[in-house]
Chain A
Amino acid sequence: MTNQDILVDCFTTALAITSDTVTEALAYNSIPEWDSIAHMTLVAELESRFGVMMDTDDIIDMSSVAKAKAILGKYGVAFEG
């Protein structure tokens, strides 16, 4: 599994959405499934699968799929392409 696959998997699991919904532009408030509770579940999922612990600023700033990738990049998680 690539890191991109794992990322998509985290979003589909935490938000209970299908993988084709997980595009770079997907942001909270754009779908009802991504609310404050799902946001917390998503962070837990990302931390567990990528073996990182984010600081609170990054957790709060994680407002889209693109932003999640950028933030994970700061913790050494590289995404292909």
Chain B
Amino acid sequence: MKEPITLEGYQVTLRDLATTDLEMVRQWRNDPAVSQYMFDQQRISPEQQAAWFERQSQDPRQRHWVIEYRGQPIGMAYLKAVLENEDLQSPSRIEPGLYIADLNYRGNILAFAPTLLMNDFCFQRLGASCLQATVKADNHAALRYNCTLGYREAERHDDRVFIELIARDYEMASGPIRSFLNRPVRSQQ
């Protein structure tokens, strides 16, 4: 069993995915608004979801969180070690990913918050040297989103774009976003 890790900051909380979340997450993942950007478009059954949860719970190379804002679940986030011989204890390359399922926050600056939390965690606590992602070439919103965070295109094959992020580029690019999400909130004043 993996050690529980909760990340908090930028107004959101990332808490470990639990069995009680599985049906909610399955419905999110099967929503065409979410699944259209996934490489795997297959509709997921409750049995497949349970089997996936069991596998990822035991896998030291990946971790999945539920994103919460104001105590409500709004989406999912994950980290995966890229190299076969590494786990998430001290990975050199990590693939982060997320989706915002709650329509109220999908086009909102808040969508950056879980990514900032995970990227800080990867670079500062896990000591990763590079983050990477594969994005559908027609997912212009995700490409723009990642570009804003400092990602650069590494390769392009058919319908896929491979992008990478190093810590220095991330620190420089994410400054303005942090400044908006790190301000005082009313409940703290």
Using a CB–CB cutoff of 8 Å, the interface residues on chain A facing chain B are: 28-29, 32, 34-40, 43-44, 53-57, 59-60, 63
Asked if B49 is at the interface of the complex by the 8 Å CB criterion, the answer is no
Asked if B180 is at the interface of the complex by the 8 Å CB criterion, the answer is yes
- Secondary structure of the B side of the interface? helix
Report the tally of A-B residue pairs with Cβ distances under 8 A.
63
Contact at B110–A60, with CB atoms within 8 Å?
Answer: yes
30 contacts between A and B (CB under 8 A): A28-B108, A29-B103, A34-B107, A35-B107, A35-B145, A36-B108, A36-B109, A36-B110, A36-B111, A36-B145, A37-B144, A37-B148, A39-B107, A40-B112, A40-B176, A40-B177, A40-B180, A43-B109, A44-B176, A54-B183, A55-B183, A55-B189, A56-B11, A56-B181, A56-B182, A57-B186, A59-B109, A60-B105, A60-B108, A63-B104
Nearest A residue to B110 via CB reads A60
Nearest A residue to B69 via CB reads A60
Number of residues of chain B lying within 8 A (CB) of chain A: 26
Asked if B185 is at the interface of the complex by the 8 Å CB criterion, the answer is yes
Residue with the greatest number of chain A CB neighbours at <10 A, chosen from B107, B111, B186: B107
Contact at B144–A35, with CB atoms within 8 Å?
Answer: yes
Q: Inside 8 A of A57's CB, which chain B residues have their CB?
A: 185-187
